[in-house]
Structure 1
Amino acid sequence: MRGTVTAHCRPEHVPGPATVADRAGPGRQPRLQRLAAREDLAGRVLLVASVLPVLLAIAWLVVAVPLAAVGGFHAWLVLPLAGATAVLLLRWAMPRLRAVPVRPAPWWSVVATAAVAVGFAILAAATHSEQAVLHRDAGTYAQVGLWLSGHPGLTTPIPADAFGSAANAVTFAHPGFFVQDGLIVPQFMTGWPTMLAAAFWLDGWPGMFVLPAVVGGAAVFAVAGLAARLCGARWAAPAALLLALAWPMLRVSQTTYSEPLACLMLAGGISLLIDGWSVAAGRTRSRTDASVRRDAGVLLGLAGLVLSGGELVRLDMGVDFALVVPVIGWWFLRRRAGAAAFVAGAVVGGGLGFLDARFVTWPYLQVNWVSVRLMVLLLVAATAGTLITVVALRWRGGAARPARRRSIAVAAAVAVAVAVAGVLLAARPLLYVDRSITAAGTIDYVASHQLRLGLPVDGTRGYAEQSLSWVSWYVGWPALVLAWFGAMAAAAGVARGRDWRLLPVLLVYGGSGVATLLRPAITPDHPWADRRLVVEVLPAVVLFAVFALARAARAGRSAATRRVLRWTPLLLVAAVVPGALVTAQLAPLRTEMGEPAAAAAVCRALRPTDSVILMDTQWAPTVRNQCGVPVAALDDPTVERIATAVAGVRAAGRDPVLMSSSTLTLLPYGLPLDKVVYLDTQEDQHQLVRRPDGTDPRRLECWIVRA
């Protein structure tokens, strides 16, 4: 079927084929009808293509994560099951997506959007890092994916037998991996490592390093598709360009971070939610109520599955889902089809996320319990508040009352509230100083960088009050101001009841984006901390900035404000240029190059009968996951402790090997050292109060002693 969706930010009126044909002469009608058919097809392609990647992603996750949790992650099992699940989901979704009313779109918009997304993926793949050794989160993700590529489960028993009587004198835990109940348990949620493992099956380390680029390109296209749903297909390409030129988005797509997949899941889930609403609201004479309920139910059920299933990828995706709950309550109050289906899908995805969190990655949740507790409280409050409100309004008969457009005064008050919130957010550096860091190790880390950068030394500084400036580094103040006006206009439109499609975008992207800026909850060195901007903040800026541009173009079509139209291209250029300049400077700078070869050199230096005793934890996951050799570390190496560990290994019938990432821990003991790795490479900078402008040198070493 074909239909027309009226969007509040539609920049111009595009008449349907019948309208054009009526105005044209009889000779022109066939040509105009063919043109309209091509534009309808272009709009449909953009709609379907923007959610197809997220459907494939959730099909993989609902199969791969449970199999990895129970020790059944085998290629011969997970690949056919995930493929069958993908086929099933697509068979459900594709007919329903064809029922979504679409607006005619020019083919140039579809081609330009695809070109931006594909170009982004190619650039990220061509400039990818090679972080294969433990070094903050990307190295941990890579090592967990490497382990899964060769093992059916995530956990492994501690190799106590390989260290004999010395097992109690060494530790088997290290950054990125915990020890619980005699098992070594990896950090982070399970979803992304399963994808990295599959990429390793396909092409080893290169496949793993390129996968984030592919997912990042899909995320760019998904956000562009969401912008098209809100503002029209002509605005998909500018949205894709704005996001692709934001360097944090490119940076996380150059290495094995989970943020590109989390960004894809959120944008795709919100798009499916809007599509389900469009089907439920777009009843026509050719469709029965039963078909409307069926089609809307499938799309909204998939939206619930995707949005709650984001918890399998990123721990704090529960905050985003909590902000969706009131939206579903509102939809239920309107007695529209699909609310129950959304809840059913959310139960499945959320249930898998709970099982992964409680029974697989539980130590990770315990370490981050402060943030987890806040997320759980928000989920409980949102769910309870929504239920109470829905029941109360239903009891009072509020659901049966027709929706009324609210007054201009209410919309103005809401817009003013958004404006004040923006001013306060920008003024935070003048109002207070954030000292939220409490962990001793992080305090020492921040203090060391403050000393190096010549800043006042205060390791408790979290610099959260400057988070809006972090965003301005990568998108520029013109885009931020546009996004601010766009958020005001969107909030006013929702307050007047004009466009319900903006409601989930305002609550989820706007609410989560502001919450992230208020409390980034991350070590504040850059570009490390800029990962926090990728999932909600940067897409929010893009969506609201494009919304403002679309409104400006729409206003320019009226006779009274036609001069505004001439400024719209200039506003778009002003929004794009700052990000383009930063990305052009930083995109070609590759980091951690040569690490896979260094890890292979470590494995070549070891034998199957070795038990490795580490003086630090740098090489622990490489030795265990890649080399397949038992490994443990000494917390505080001394001559006596080293002798005890060596004697225990020998008594167990194995060969003791001492290993360190520096000669400093081995030279004092007068032991003969063998140099295994001596690699000079580059790493991300560690800036605290200004934007990164390059990379820093990094030396990677591995020294061993056969005791």
Structure 2
Amino acid sequence: MPAANRTHLAGALRVRTAPGARAGRVLQLASVLPVLAVTGWLLVAVPLAALGAFHAWTVLPAAAAAAVLLVRLARPALAAARTRPAPWWAVASTLAIAAAFAALAMATHSEQAVLHRDAGTYAQIGLWLSGHPGLTAPVPAEAFGGAADEVTFAHPGFYEQDGTIVPQFMTGWPTLLAAAHWAGGWTGMFVLPGLVGGLAVLAVAGLAARIAGPRWAPVAALLLAAAWPMLRVSQTTYSEPLAALMLAGGLALLLDAWQSRRAPLFALAGLVLGGGELVRLDMAVDFALVLPAIGWWWVRRQPGALAFASGALVGGGLGYLDARYVTWPYVQVNWSSARPMALLLVAAVVGTVAGAILLRRRSLRLSPRLAVALVVAGGIALAARPWYWTDHSVTAASTMDYVASHQRRLGLPVDGTRGYAEQSLSWVSWYFGWPLLVLAWGGLMAAAAGVARGRQWRLLPILLVYGGSAAATLLRPAITPDHPWADRRLVVEVLPAVVLLAVVALAGLARMRLRVPWMAALLALAIGPALWVTVPLAPLRTEVGEPEAAARLCRALRPDDTVIMIDTQWAPTVRNQCGLPVAQLPDPTVDRLRMVAAAVRAAGRDPVLMSTSTLPLLPYGLPLERVVYQDEREDQHQLARRPDGTDPRLLECWLVRA
């Protein structure tokens, strides 16, 4: 064997047997294999649900096969990606933090089974899908006889379109909730977000290991796990934990693809990042922002850009089909947000292609000083917004009334147009503390300078996707501004961005050989405020007992009942869980109620009037039946300060047999 070949072989063997190589490989695989398995599920479950073929015996084996196929495609390419040696203590502590987070979220899960806000809507969609082969339900017009045109079958979270009831939101997360209901009923559905949240924490920690070194993975995991908005969304059936997993896992796959230069890994990264649209409509922004990174890779004449595009076309194409043909009413209602996202995506594609072609012909040098100056100016402008701008972005009449009611309750100036977006950076500081935000700002400066110098290519997707999306979210949260409801907007991009950039700053300070006491103090300042906020809030549960309350309602109804709702809260429960026809009567009067009840009787069914309070039913002059009357706890509705507990809430259901 020639001497040169012997030297090369010896070097390869040294890399394979380097201390900590196996631990580093474990961390690498643990942070991406879950998202591949989830993507395999989505590729099968979403089309089957859309086609009306969502059965356990069809989706489970097909999804398992798809997940195995994706993992098998990834394994050789992942093995070719160079991983940094990692100490076992770092890997074990990272896994332990993610597992502890998941266990805590699962043990303290909420039980929002009744329509209240988005968590209840997701739970009801998952419940319906667990017992039906498709997402849509037929409008039960025949149960209302000649009064079918007087009632509405739509209500918050569900739309009426072409004789069917169409659920809100993208289809991906409800399919997983349905599978969890197959496995464990309501409890299975309620604990699933905690499990997915733990995997998202692990995926972000894996990203930190890739950009800052494996020793910083447990720090990143602890920082994200200690952020209360992350825990809160993992305690109830929101889609944000899955969206966070898809984004972090997809970017980790992309960084590994850059390392290995293997086409299958690029394709899988594109598939995951494009498929994020199946989970959350806003993921189109994240995908648009990753495209310049792919263009930069192509400019360097490296392989993989075409493979990424092919995977993205599959994942993004399924997302488009889901949005256009399954959940189109949801997209139309949110068109004011969806249209800019679509334009951004088109601009990103055109701009990336044009810019990459231009840069292939002519080199471009970026100024590190200019990059840092832009970060400094942007940070100052964002932090100073409360002094020079007041947000009046709320325009929907119902939302204005809602905001004004809470302003009156909290003793704030009453102005229903207030969106409080100028305070968005303060929202982040509530849960992380200003020291961590300053560290993240410093990490952003270092990352921008490193990318501009062409030395820190690993940080480019972090800057573009997490940095760009976080900035867009903070500038325009676009959500009803009561907390902790509005803090959901921080979970997918903002909180991971702060964590990753702070870790970049801490790793840079460590490389400067900062003295151990100073590093310990910085770590305490970084983690302490988050723990101070989260520890008292973590065990608090909300909406406990709602599944049993819903079951009591179903027991109070009879097979021949047709339910006429005065309001809408219990409508999904009656339809999805009780399996009975239900509709709401807008602007009810005694005469109109009697007319609809008579039409129901003429159709051969028994009319039942239902409301969440007694007042609308009293004028009817018939005996009231109290079906549900229970005290529970719900999230607070704060507008100008951090939530510090839960609020009491009375859950009621009254009915009258007409």
1:157-236 equivalence runs, <5 A? 157-236=138-217
Partner of 2:122: 141
Distance in 2 of aligned mates of 1:123 and 1:677? 30
| Pair 1:679 & 2:630 matched | yes
1:517-536 equivalence runs, <5 A? 517-536=474-493
Q: State the SS of the aligned residue for 1:679.
A: strand
Partner of 2:39: 58
How far is 1:392 from its partner? 2.9
Partner of 1:582: 533
TM-score by length of 1: 0.90
Partner of 1:342: 308
| Pair 1:362 & 2:345 matched | no
Partner of 1:570: 521
Distance in 1 of aligned mates of 2:373 and 2:317? 40
Q: Which amino acid aligns with 2:343?
A: L
How far is 1:18 from its partner? 8.3
Is the CA contact (8 Å cut-off) linking 2:556 and 2:627 kept in structure 1?
yes
How far is 1:34 from its partner? 12
* Deviations 1:617-668 (CA, angstroms, capped at 9, x unpaired): 0100000000000001111111011011101100100111111111011112
| Pair 1:320 & 2:286 matched | yes
Partner of 1:310: 276
Distance in 2 of aligned mates of 1:436 and 1:568? 42
Distance in 2 of aligned mates of 1:476 and 1:223? 20
* Deviations 1:337-379 (CA, angstroms, capped at 9, x unpaired): 1110000000000110000000000000011001001101101
Is the CA contact (8 Å cut-off) linking 1:304 and 1:344 kept in structure 2?
yes
Query: Which of 443, 446, 455 in structure 2 is aligned with 1:486?
Result: 443
Partner of 1:436: 393
Is the CA contact (8 Å cut-off) linking 2:590 and 2:619 kept in structure 1?
no
Q: Which amino acid aligns with 2:569?
A: Q
Q: Which amino acid aligns with 1:207?
A: G
Q: Which amino acid aligns with 1:683?
A: E
Is the CA contact (8 Å cut-off) linking 1:678 and 1:702 kept in structure 2?
yes
Query: Which of 435, 457, 464 in structure 1 is aligned with 2:421?
Result: 464
Distance in 1 of aligned mates of 2:161 and 2:225? 41
Partner of 2:382: 425
Partner of 2:561: 610
* Deviations 1:272-301 (CA, angstroms, capped at 9, x unpaired): 000000112xxxxxxxxxxxxxxx111110
Distance in 1 of aligned mates of 2:488 and 2:326? 24
Distance in 1 of aligned mates of 2:284 and 2:475? 17
Distance in 2 of aligned mates of 1:34 and 1:232? 17
| Pair 1:297 & 2:263 matched | yes
How far is 1:554 from its partner? 0.3
Distance in 2 of aligned mates of 1:34 and 1:179? 60
Partner of 2:319: 353
Is the CA contact (8 Å cut-off) linking 1:36 and 1:104 kept in structure 2?
no
* Deviations 1:568-589 (CA, angstroms, capped at 9, x unpaired): 2211110101100111111111
Decide which moves more: 384-393 or 683-692: 384-393
Over 3 Å counting, the alpha-carbon distance change for 1:392 and 1:416 in structure 2 is: closer
Query: Which of 128, 150, 155 in structure 1 is aligned with 2:131?
Result: 150
What CA RMSD, in Å, does the superposition of the two structures yield over aligned residues?
A: 1.6
| Pair 1:627 & 2:627 matched | no
| Pair 1:538 & 2:495 matched | yes
Q: State the SS of the aligned residue for 2:482.
A: coil
Partner of 1:290: none
Q: Which amino acid aligns with 1:51?
A: V
Is the CA contact (8 Å cut-off) linking 1:475 and 1:575 kept in structure 2?
yes
Is the CA contact (8 Å cut-off) linking 2:108 and 2:540 kept in structure 1?
yes
Q: State the SS of the aligned residue for 1:666.
A: helix
Partner of 2:645: 694
Q: Which amino acid aligns with 1:299?
A: L
How far is 1:333 from its partner? 1.4
How far is 1:390 from its partner? 2.3
Distance in 2 of aligned mates of 1:636 and 1:155? 26
Q: State the SS of the aligned residue for 1:438.
A: coil
| Pair 1:387 & 2:350 matched | no
Query: Which of 432, 455, 469 in structure 1 is aligned with 2:412?
Result: 455
* Deviations 1:22-68 (CA, angstroms, capped at 9, x unpaired): xxxxxxxxxxx899545110000000110011001100001000000
Structure 1 stretches (4+) deviating beyond 2 angstroms?
Answer: 33-38, 390-394
TM-score by length of 2: 0.97
Q: Which amino acid aligns with 1:543?
A: L
Decide which moves more: 227-236 or 326-335: 326-335
Q: Which amino acid aligns with 2:324?
A: R
Is the CA contact (8 Å cut-off) linking 2:114 and 2:569 kept in structure 1?
yes
* Deviations 1:79-104 (CA, angstroms, capped at 9, x unpaired): 00000101111111111111110111
| Pair 1:600 & 2:551 matched | yes
Q: Which amino acid aligns with 1:513?
A: A
| Pair 1:119 & 2:100 matched | yes
Distance in 2 of aligned mates of 1:522 and 1:393? 39
Q: Which amino acid aligns with 1:332?
A: W
How far is 1:566 from its partner? 3.8
Is the CA contact (8 Å cut-off) linking 1:138 and 1:255 kept in structure 2?
yes
Distance in 1 of aligned mates of 2:72 and 2:15? 28
How far is 1:538 from its partner? 0.1
* Deviations 1:2-24 (CA, angstroms, capped at 9, x unpaired): xxxxxxxxxxxxxxx989x9xxx
Q: State the SS of the aligned residue for 1:152.
A: coil
Distance in 2 of aligned mates of 1:258 and 1:392? 39
Distance in 2 of aligned mates of 1:571 and 1:531? 27
Q: Which ranges in structure 2 are unaligned for 5 or more consecutive residues?
A: 1-8
Distance in 2 of aligned mates of 1:177 and 1:576? 41
Query: Which of 237, 250, 274 in structure 2 is aligned with 1:256?
Result: 237
| Pair 1:377 & 2:343 matched | yes
Q: Which ranges in structure 1 are unaligned for 5 or more consecutive residues?
A: 1-16, 22-32, 281-295, 557-561
Partner of 2:91: 110
Is the CA contact (8 Å cut-off) linking 2:299 and 2:357 kept in structure 1?
no
Q: Which amino acid aligns with 1:350?
A: G
Q: State the SS of the aligned residue for 1:683.
A: strand
Is the CA contact (8 Å cut-off) linking 2:483 and 2:639 kept in structure 1?
yes
| Pair 1:507 & 2:464 matched | yes
| Pair 1:132 & 2:83 matched | no
| Pair 1:414 & 2:371 matched | yes
Distance in 1 of aligned mates of 2:436 and 2:489? 18
Distance in 2 of aligned mates of 1:104 and 1:412? 33
Q: State the SS of the aligned residue for 1:229.
A: helix
Distance in 2 of aligned mates of 1:169 and 1:609? 20
Distance in 2 of aligned mates of 1:196 and 1:631? 24
Q: Which amino acid aligns with 1:88?
A: L
How far is 1:334 from its partner? 1.3
How far is 1:704 from its partner? 1.0
Partner of 1:5: none
Decide which moves more: 659-668 or 248-257: 659-668
Partner of 2:607: 656
Is the CA contact (8 Å cut-off) linking 1:39 and 1:106 kept in structure 2?
yes
